Amino acid sequence: MSKSNVAIIGGGNIADKNHIPALKQVAEQVDIVAVCGRDRAKARALADKHAIPHAFDNTGELYRVCAPDMVVICTPNNLHYPQTIEALEHGCHVFCEKPSALHARDARHMADLAAQKGLTLAYNFQLRQTGECELLMRCKAEGLLGDIYHIKAQFLRRRGIPGWGSFTNKAVQGGGALMDLGVHVLDLALYVLGFPTPDQVLGNTYDLIGKTGGKGLMGSWNPATFDVEDAAMAYLSFPNKASVMLSASFALNTQLDKDRNLAVFGSKGGVSLFPFTLHTELAGELADVRFPYLEDVDSQLKNTIAFLDACQHKPSNVCTAEQGALLQEIVERIYQSAER
Amino acid sequence: MSKSNVAIIGGGNIADKNHIPALKQVAEQVDIVAVCGRDRAKARALADKHAIPHAFDNTGELYRVCAPDMVVICTPNNLHYPQTIEALEHGCHVFCEKPSALHARDARHMADLAAQKGLTLAYNFQLRQTGECELLMRCKAEGLLGDIYHIKAQFLRRRGIPGWGSFTNKAVQGGGALMDLGVHVLDLALYVLGFPTPDQVLGNTYDLIGKTGGKGLMGSWNPATFDVEDAAMAYLSFPNKASVMLSASFALNTQLDKDRNLAVFGSKGGVSLFPFTLHTELAGELADVRFPYLEDVDSQLKNTIAFLDACQHKPSNVCTAEQGALLQEIVERIYQSAER
Amino acid sequence: MSKSNVAIIGGGNIADKNHIPALKQVAEQVDIVAVCGRDRAKARALADKHAIPHAFDNTGELYRVCAPDMVVICTPNNLHYPQTIEALEHGCHVFCEKPSALHARDARHMADLAAQKGLTLAYNFQLRQTGECELLMRCKAEGLLGDIYHIKAQFLRRRGIPGWGSFTNKAVQGGGALMDLGVHVLDLALYVLGFPTPDQVLGNTYDLIGKTGGKGLMGSWNPATFDVEDAAMAYLSFPNKASVMLSASFALNTQLDKDRNLAVFGSKGGVSLFPFTLHTELAGELADVRFPYLEDVDSQLKNTIAFLDACQHKPSNVCTAEQGALLQEIVERIYQSAER
Amino acid sequence: MSKSNVAIIGGGNIADKNHIPALKQVAEQVDIVAVCGRDRAKARALADKHAIPHAFDNTGELYRVCAPDMVVICTPNNLHYPQTIEALEHGCHVFCEKPSALHARDARHMADLAAQKGLTLAYNFQLRQTGECELLMRCKAEGLLGDIYHIKAQFLRRRGIPGWGSFTNKAVQGGGALMDLGVHVLDLALYVLGFPTPDQVLGNTYDLIGKTGGKGLMGSWNPATFDVEDAAMAYLSFPNKASVMLSASFALNTQLDKDRNLAVFGSKGGVSLFPFTLHTELAGELADVRFPYLEDVDSQLKNTIAFLDACQHKPSNVCTAEQGALLQEIVERIYQSAER
Amino acid sequence: MSKSNVAIIGGGNIADKNHIPALKQVAEQVDIVAVCGRDRAKARALADKHAIPHAFDNTGELYRVCAPDMVVICTPNNLHYPQTIEALEHGCHVFCEKPSALHARDARHMADLAAQKGLTLAYNFQLRQTGECELLMRCKAEGLLGDIYHIKAQFLRRRGIPGWGSFTNKAVQGGGALMDLGVHVLDLALYVLGFPTPDQVLGNTYDLIGKTGGKGLMGSWNPATFDVEDAAMAYLSFPNKASVMLSASFALNTQLDKDRNLAVFGSKGGVSLFPFTLHTELAGELADVRFPYLEDVDSQLKNTIAFLDACQHKPSNVCTAEQGALLQEIVERIYQSAER
Amino acid sequence: MSKSNVAIIGGGNIADKNHIPALKQVAEQVDIVAVCGRDRAKARALADKHAIPHAFDNTGELYRVCAPDMVVICTPNNLHYPQTIEALEHGCHVFCEKPSALHARDARHMADLAAQKGLTLAYNFQLRQTGECELLMRCKAEGLLGDIYHIKAQFLRRRGIPGWGSFTNKAVQGGGALMDLGVHVLDLALYVLGFPTPDQVLGNTYDLIGKTGGKGLMGSWNPATFDVEDAAMAYLSFPNKASVMLSASFALNTQLDKDRNLAVFGSKGGVSLFPFTLHTELAGELADVRFPYLEDVDSQLKNTIAFLDACQHKPSNVCTAEQGALLQEIVERIYQSAER
């Protein structure tokens, strides 16, 4: 197969530290032809750093000059929708950062357009590619878990309201802890369950700490302009009676600085994901299984490869446009429930 | 005040190990005058063991012969309702084992009748009396927690389906893990929140392990006759937007044999109950507080005293008839949600 | 089946604390009719303590008066042979303490005579009945270990030369650490391997600490009269190329006070017995399995029942006369190797 | 003394990472004049990296051009013999990687020729130079151990079959875990004992995991071409009755990834080497001694210096030609025992 | 030797739990003939419990009726002086509870009178008899510590102000934490140093917590009547330049509930007493030595035997009258320094 | 404010690693204009490394050429006095390394001259700037400690006699462990107490290990020329009855390699500084508080800023000339007490 031209839209940290390094490791498949950022000089500097030929400050020029085969979108959340639509309209495959969009109807539109155009649209939920998640899927496939009926998914920070970026700005981000953190473990939970649509969604959001202020562990934030949730709690129930408890926080009076985990309960076995432990019966006795030599993997690289595989219609476990739309629909139902 | 005559209805373990010993420690307030059990000989033996004068095998005879001032009801769940009604009709204060009744409407009837008769009806939720729960309430009262907005309540056993009694028989118990275990931590959660009524309840129940069988840690159970839930998960939301995640299990593929805890999250501090830790800010820094010399208390004795205090219209934190009725209504709403 | 009469030969601790209590728990199968000890008064006292009718100070009288169906022999090692022969000649099944005899030829004779008489002769190697050993055999049966090819068996004490009894007297005991301790884990190793006969045996014995003296953790011993080995090391190789490393000590300059273990290595999994851990591959990853809820069992009771089962030709895993003879032959080969 | 010219034969990792850096640290004693490898270009690159003047792809040219005083041989095992003989014939001192040779008779020939030529031949068993081994020898010298009578020596990997090099190729390596790993701890054991010749050797080798395949922790190996032992177990007995249990594995179903240790048992004290602990009696009590500030040492540098000392007839604890020959003879006796 | 008659003066807990049980274990040497307490009925009950013939409520009657050879004085501190003088005047050996007296001049008088009468007066500082203290003295005797030049001695409780007895009453006790607790470790420190007289004493006492009140871990105390020190700190310097830092507290805002220890620093080794560790150099390396199998001993029994040995002029390490007087003099100098 | 010119006097490690890097981080306030060292070439090299214009080997030239506003003095202890006097005479603010001077009278003179000249003289006790010390002062300010009445201050090394520099030379250093290490924690103790003057000082110094030799953990020292104390112990008492126990050592037979800590005891709470824990009562219970997310701070940078603030008469917690003089007076009183 011939190599594809890929353009990077968004010239921040995620481009610099995640996507570009991963793409450079698959240089036999792709050429990075351009970086497009808000600030042309910064885009130029990033391009130079990575030996990328072009740098732009508007996507119109990008498409005109480079006509890329693919784009990677790593801009703030509120741009995911218009930039994806534009890219699809230009016939590009799109690898978009999470979450898919600010609104469920936009995410649905993105998925429909990609399908209509026959293009690949995928989202960068890279926790799927961790060694732990892979082992979980292998345990499930080998029947070690039996029927999975309950999942506790959480991504909790004690005082991790970011003191930089637009994380506390609802107009840009669309939300707070749920939109930024919760969606990661929600994706994992649905991935394990096979992406069913919940028939019941109930949730609440909170902002007392965010609006009051206090000691910050990820820089200092401004309580006066804080207008997103600092914590979100939700319960999902599915037609097959499986259920998910979802907890996400930027700030919560809990012990750990960062507590990201999935506890998966099945009829034959249960798994706690980080660190990975399996609780089951073996030889007629209750058994706890640890896997002491699980390897660290480069989950971003693996997800980038999964996206490229999807573009070529190879088997891939990347988060699809449909899945991204369902995730956003659930997030929106949680917010609606919280505002009831 | 003159001493009260108390009769024990139900001649099993709970009478022998919990209620009678506690009542004997407050002998300056009460005389235990009778034990009434299904089997007269066993009731007689229990009475003799504790130097109690009378033993009966029917409550009619009990009321006729002894005319007690109070009764303690520690029979199977399905008898709580009729025996409480009967006792109230005989003008007795009633200290009834949890849960209040098989059906919410019965629990409501019990509370209404007690109110109408001017008698005390209380339920034996003794976890309220633990040193940990007391300290939690003191922390709340001193403002160390701020506004409480979320609670994770759980009472999980890994393979603790009881191999004795009628714990797996729905007709007698009214349910499984939720009815027997979950209700304890549900009571604690509501107690901490001030017993508000939830406006939203969503839940699910499961029975895959119970109906399949396996290794038991509390004796062996019969999967063929198992007809209760082995696990229940629920989410409650309250008018003030506070929320509770409730998890209860007789059997679940998790690590710990027994995992009973409440995690309480407030705007100023959070508490994990067993063991007790407080997570807050102090002197401008994130602080974890431990209380290394918290004393073990005899929570049954304290709850018995709380009941006696209630009977005399003294301040008391015993679970009231109204609270018991609300708990049962929530349990019923969870079961209904699970069957939707 | 009708009840059997059993007589206890040997009135010491092992009778009082192990065999008699176990036999009393199977009172529906056996009546203990007599105790026979060296000292009639002590035998009488022991009999009275356990409500046993007869007490003797010589076996002749015992057989004459009581004609037991079975005897349990718990006398010093040097009496196992003559008393077993006598018992078999009187038509009794025999449950004999380990080890079988001072010499391999005696143990062989005992086995042959039992076979010829159609009587059950068994030895009390009760470690086979521990929950750990049972789980090991279940793991093996379920194929979790694959082919077993190497075992490290050890029973090491740091300074556990007994300060009482005749443990340091070769004429009575036949040997030291190997005869008293090593034989227990040797039995386990052979039991796991299916009791093959080794084709190669190499070993050494030592007595430097025993003959020098020092701090004792099981009382004080007399170095001047110490004439057994304080440590024995041996290597066994079997026709199928499996091998066993055996280590036993009364005294050794090692860390632990008592270190009793079996490490079993198979092509699919390996087990360390005390505490039980399984090391294998699961779902394509290296896995360590722990069984946190393994129950403590009364291994003496289970071995007594196994002996009674053997007497009735039921399936039984008690150590047979043949196995006891093979164990003694191996012990003797180790001693011979050490003296080469 | 004048400086010596040293040539490196073998241009792989061991040369690059171990020998050349060590030699450069003693630049006041030696000049590295040449590297000789199979592939001239790679030899040249290695020489350039370390500023070494010459690079060759055949030893004939090396000796012709450079006439070195010493050579360091770090080629695969099967070349140790011919290259050492060649070097000795050219009048060079030889520092050869372990093991000495594929066959005991070759190792003997090497030692005899060195003696005859008056040249130093030594082997690079660098564990002798660790701080732990030094402290062990000091403890022995100060009498803290008394008479040493038993050693357990082990070098076990759980799944450490190397996925590179020729480690699984018998023709090149002469064997597997015993030849590559076991020989290291065998050297230590004999070093501690004073290098006596055993009068009894019994052993077994295994290859079930190696020939079946599975998860690898040091890369992936090919079970189809695997023809060495994945594990070896052996027992050595010496004329003074001391004994050694030796265990080595590339792959074994055990807990630790890497378990390399020596447990040394003496009449007054015992030592476990990694980490170092001493178990003895002190002031009349059983004492465990730890040495919390034992320094890490550069054992390769120390062994290189020991070799240079030996060349100058200074006191040296490097592994001599005679010791290397005895080690190989023992290895061969173990293999022969395993094949009996 | 003929048996001695011993009388117990003081009928409280110390008599019942410590002295009488110890004396009964040396019944071959002494007969307990009487108990004398403030309350005749309680003294009678205690005597009956231990099968002691006589019970009195005044010492005059005791001496008249029983004429004991020895007395054990276990009354409150303020009675030690008059009762000891009385006993010596009646020709009795005296075993007196610590501390010796309320005032140094009284303790001096007691020692002088005993010397003049040729009678044994000893004090019950039983920490000297612990296995740890014995091992410390053995280490010192074997030269493992070299010259001892500094000791940190502490007996600290976090909130251990006793809620019973007269521990907070200065008139009865003579002082608080120093008099009750500090004196124990002061005795140990001087015992290790060989009981030299300090040439410099500096100290301070505190009572802020005791006079304020708070949570108690040994019952509740009354801050209003609390008139002793809750903590005392002192520094002693000796003519040979050795020094002791002494810390004692009933209440201190420290971590441990009870922290009783001696850290002894010598030129060759240092010891931390509870638990016992030795820090020294061994084989040229810094070594930490632990004694994992140190036995628990009955220190009261050993001290009682030491007293009896002293009465018979056998070697004894019991605290002598002279030592008791010196201890009291130091305590008094600390109090004087604190009040300067 | 305009920028100040600062000169560095002393061209060693402390200049290179501590002071110069800190000053470069506040380049908006100061220009480093010169380095002055004993050896002009080394001074030049250091200046070049940090891009500092001038380098000198005598202070006369320095003042003549550069006329700095401030100097930082980081020469050996015996030069602090003359160089500070010289700098003040030249009208410079002075930031001097600890301790202030060899003699108390010199330190007093330094403070008086600075006051007279209206210049800032400060000492670099940077432990005050650690996050732990800051939190301690905040706890004190918020009343969490109540009245502070006792401090245990220690800076102990097990075998940390420096093998370099002049640390064991009394003529240069003025003393050993007390002068180099003890003074740090003495400063902290006084800082916490508000810098009162003690009315009683008692102390001792030791040198047995230093003069004997042994294993070193900070290089090797020469016992023959060792003429300072290897350990110092002291007790301070203040007019308000507060007390300090001070322990410092280069070498002591204790467990830890380095044990630097302050334990502060107040009427409401106590703090152990490294790591920081607070022991107090909360909600009526004894509470232990940990601060798990205390940040590491650059204490040198903070102390440099504190010095600059002091020069500008801003609030500052840098150690003042007066405080430095008092510290030296206490050190001198300890040495005098030790020599009494």
pLDDT digits (tens, 9 = 90+) for E12-56: 999 999 999 999 999 999 999 999 999 999 999 999 999 999 999
Q: Please state, in angstroms and rounded to a whole number, the distance separating the CA atoms of residues F120 and F94.
A: 6
Torsion on CA atoms F95, F96, F99, F105, rounded to nearest 10: -100
Q: Please state, in angstroms and rounded to a whole number, the distance separating the CA atoms of residues C241 and D206.
A: 8
Looking at C126, C159, C186, the residue that finishes a domain is C126
Chain D neighbours among F 154-173 (CB < 8 Å)?
A: 159
Q: State which residue of chain F sits closest to A215, comparing Cα positions.
A: F293
pLDDT digits (tens, 9 = 90+) for A187-242: 999 999 999 999 999 999 999 999 999 999 999 999 999 999 999 999 999 999 99
Question: Are residue D180 and residue D272 in the same domain, yes or no?
Answer: yes
Task: Check if A217 contacts F (Cβ < 8 Å).
Answer: yes
Question: Are residue D215 and residue D278 in the same domain, yes or no?
Answer: yes
Q: Do D253 and C241 touch (CB under 8 A)?
A: no
Mean pLDDT of the region D52-79: 97
Question: Are residue A42 and residue A93 in the same domain, yes or no?
Answer: yes
Beta bridge partners of F35: F8, F55
What pLDDT, on the 0 to 100 scale, is given for residue C1? 55
| Residue A90 neighbours by CB under 8 Å, 6+ apart | A63, A67
Chain D neighbours among E 39-98 (CB < 8 Å)?
A: none
| Residue A14 and residue A97 in contact, taking contact as beta carbons nearer than 8 Å | yes
Query: Which among B71, B33, B77, B88 is positioned nearest to B55, based on CA atoms?
Result: B33
pLDDT digits (tens, 9 = 90+) for E227-281: 999 999 999 999 999 999 999 999 999 999 999 999 999 999 999 999 999 999 9
Least confident window among C181-185, D165-169, E120-124: D165-169
**DSSP-derived 3-state class of residue A187:** helix
Mean pLDDT of the region F26-35: 97
Task: Check if C256 contacts E (Cβ < 8 Å).
Answer: no
Query: Which among D284, D269, D1, D3 is positioned nearest to D140, based on CA atoms?
Result: D269
ipTM (interface pTM):
0.96
| Residue E6 and residue E70 in contact, taking contact as beta carbons nearer than 8 Å | yes
**Cross-chain CB nearest to B139 (options F142, F283, F289):** F283
Q: State which residue of chain C sits closest to A290, comparing Cα positions.
A: C288
Question: Are residue C118 and residue C134 in the same domain, yes or no?
Answer: no
pLDDT digits (tens, 9 = 90+) for D265-312: 999 999 999 999 999 999 999 999 999 999 999 999 999 999 999 999
Task: Check if B293 contacts E (Cβ < 8 Å).
Answer: yes
Q: Measured between beta carbons, which residues in chain C are less than 8 angstroms from residue B163?
A: none
What pLDDT, on the 0 to 100 scale, is given for residue D210? 97
**DSSP-derived 3-state class of residue C140:** helix
Question: Are residue F106 and residue F210 in the same domain, yes or no?
Answer: no
| Residue F334 neighbours by CB under 8 Å, 6+ apart | F178, F201, F203, F205, F232, F234, F246
Q: Measured between beta carbons, which residues in chain E are less than 8 angstroms from residue B292?
A: 257
Q: Please state, in angstroms and rounded to a whole number, the distance separating the CA atoms of residues E274 and E260.
A: 7
CA distance C177 to chain E (A): 21
Residue A109 placed within a domain:
yes
pLDDT > 90: percent of chain D: 98
Helix (H) or strand (E) holding B154: strand B148-157
Residue A238 placed within a domain:
yes
Q: Do F286 and B278 touch (CB under 8 A)?
A: no
Question: Are residue B224 and residue B333 in the same domain, yes or no?
Answer: yes
Confidence grade of residue F289 (pLDDT, cut at 50, 70, 90)? very high
Q: What is the layout of strands, in order, in the sheet containing D319-320?
A: D54-56, D30-36, D4-9, D70-73, D93-96, D121-123, D319-320
Q: Do chains F and B touch (3 or more CB pairs under 8 A)?
A: yes
What pLDDT, on the 0 to 100 scale, is given for residue B340? 84
The amino acid occupying position D276 is: F
Query: Which among E226, E191, E198 is positioned nearest to E212, based on CA atoms?
Result: E226
> Does the pLDDT of residue E1 top 60, yes or no?
no
What pLDDT, on the 0 to 100 scale, is given for residue A19? 98
What is the C-alpha end-to-end distance of chain D, expressed in Å? Answer: 52
Longest dimension (CA), chain F: 66
Q: Which backbone phi and psi does B130 adopt, to 5 degrees?
A: -65, 155
| Residue F69 neighbours by CB under 8 Å, 6+ apart | F4, F5, F6, F92, F93
Task: Provide the domain limits for residue A76.
Answer: 4-126
pLDDT digits (tens, 9 = 90+) for F238-258: 999 999 999 999 999 999 999
| Residue D210 and residue D250 in contact, taking contact as beta carbons nearer than 8 Å | yes
Question: Are residue D91 and residue D35 in the same domain, yes or no?
Answer: yes
CA distance E44 to chain F (A): 42
Q: Do E144 and D294 touch (CB under 8 A)?
A: no
Q: Measured between beta carbons, which residues in chain B are less than 8 angstroms from residue C293?
A: 158-159, 215, 217, 257
Q: State which residue of chain A sits closest to B201, comparing Cα positions.
A: A202
pLDDT digits (tens, 9 = 90+) for B133-168: 999 999 999 999 999 999 999 999 999 999 998 999
Helix (H) or strand (E) holding A33: strand A30-36
List C-alpha distances in Å: F288 to B72, F145, F186, F266: 41, 13, 26, 15
> Does the pLDDT of residue F78 top 60, yes or no?
yes
Question: Are residue A98 and residue A177 in the same domain, yes or no?
Answer: no
Report the CATH number that the domain containing residue C19 is assigned in CATH.
3.40.50.720
CA angle A200, A202, A203 (to 5 degrees): 155
Q: State which residue of chain B sits closest to C291, comparing Cα positions.
A: B255
Question: Are residue D234 and residue D142 in the same domain, yes or no?
Answer: yes
**DSSP-derived 3-state class of residue A122:** strand
Question: Are residue F100 and residue F161 in the same domain, yes or no?
Answer: no
Average pLDDT, chain A: 97
pLDDT digits (tens, 9 = 90+) for B31-68: 999 999 999 999 999 999 999 999 999 999 999 999 99
What pLDDT, on the 0 to 100 scale, is given for residue B1? 54
Q: Measured between beta carbons, which residues in chain C are less than 8 angstroms from residue B257?
A: 292-293
Q: Do chains D and B touch (3 or more CB pairs under 8 A)?
A: no
pLDDT digits (tens, 9 = 90+) for E89-138: 999 999 999 999 999 999 999 999 999 999 999 999 999 999 999 999 99
What pLDDT, on the 0 to 100 scale, is given for residue B75? 96
What pLDDT, on the 0 to 100 scale, is given for residue E312? 96
Sign of CA dihedral E1, E5, E9, E11: positive
Interhelix angle A321-339/A104-117, rounded to 10 degrees, is 170
pLDDT > 70: percent of chain D: 100
Q: Measured between beta carbons, which residues in chain D are less than 8 angstroms from residue F159?
A: 293
CA distance D246 to chain C (A): 10
What pLDDT, on the 0 to 100 scale, is given for residue A165? 87
Query: Which among B217, B204, B202, B203 is positioned nearest to B251, based on CA atoms?
Result: B217
Q: Do B291 and F284 touch (CB under 8 A)?
A: no
Kindly give the parts of chain B with pLDDT less than 70: 1
Q: Do C291 and A284 touch (CB under 8 A)?
A: no
Question: Are residue A95 and residue A229 in the same domain, yes or no?
Answer: no
What pLDDT, on the 0 to 100 scale, is given for residue D2? 79
| Residue B158 and residue A286 in contact, taking contact as beta carbons nearer than 8 Å | yes
> Does the pLDDT of residue A300 top 60, yes or no?
yes
Residue D322 placed within a domain:
yes
What pLDDT, on the 0 to 100 scale, is given for residue D165? 87
Looking at A126, A152, A175, the residue that finishes a domain is A126
What pLDDT, on the 0 to 100 scale, is given for residue A1? 55
Looking at B107, B126, B145, the residue that finishes a domain is B126
Task: Check if D284 contacts C (Cβ < 8 Å).
Answer: yes
Residue A61 placed within a domain:
yes
CA angle E321, E327, E332 (to 5 degrees): 125
- Strands C243-249, F4-9: pairing is unpaired
Q: State which residue of chain D sits closest to E287, comparing Cα positions.
A: D291
Task: Check if B141 contacts E (Cβ < 8 Å).
Answer: no
CA distance A213 to chain F (A): 17
Q: Do D280 and C253 touch (CB under 8 A)?
A: yes
Query: Which among D127, D120, D125 is positioned nearest to D71, based on CA atoms?
Result: D120
Question: Are residue E152 and residue E116 in the same domain, yes or no?
Answer: no
Average pLDDT, chain C: 97
Q: Please state, in angstroms and rounded to a whole number, the distance separating the CA atoms of residues E303 and C134.
A: 51
List C-alpha distances in Å: D35 to C324, D42, D301: 64, 10, 19
**Cross-chain CB nearest to F287 (options B284, B286, B291):** B291
- How many residues can be counted in chain E? 340
- According to DSSP, residue E251 is labeled B
**DSSP-derived 3-state class of residue C329:** helix
Residue among D253, D261, D278, D335 with most chain C CBs within 10 A, to mutate: D253
> Does the pLDDT of residue F1 top 80, yes or no?
no
Query: Which among A26, A29, A74, A32 is positioned nearest to A52, based on CA atoms?
Result: A32
Residue B313 placed within a domain:
no
Q: Measured between beta carbons, which residues in chain E are less than 8 angstroms from residue B293?
A: 158-159, 215, 217, 257
Cβ atoms within 10 A of the Cβ of C264, count? 25
Q: Do E293 and D282 touch (CB under 8 A)?
A: no
Report the CATH number that the domain containing residue D292 is assigned in CATH.
3.30.360.10
**Cross-chain CB nearest to D293 (options E138, E286, E293):** E286
Cβ atoms within 10 A of the Cβ of B65, count? 14
Q: Do A265 and B254 touch (CB under 8 A)?
A: yes
Q: Do E138 and D286 touch (CB under 8 A)?
A: no
Q: DSSP letters of B88-116?
A: HHTT-EEEEPSS--SSHHHHHHHHHHHHH
Tokens at D31, concatenated? 């000049």
Residue B208 placed within a domain:
yes
Beta bridge partners of D260: D155
How many domains is chain D partitioned into structurally?
Answer: 2
Q: State which residue of chain C sits closest to B159, comparing Cα positions.
A: C293
Mean pLDDT of the region C149-178: 96
Q: Please state, in angstroms and rounded to a whole number, the distance separating the CA atoms of residues A278 and A287.
A: 8
Mean pLDDT of the region F275-286: 97
Residue E310 placed within a domain:
no
Residue F117 placed within a domain:
yes
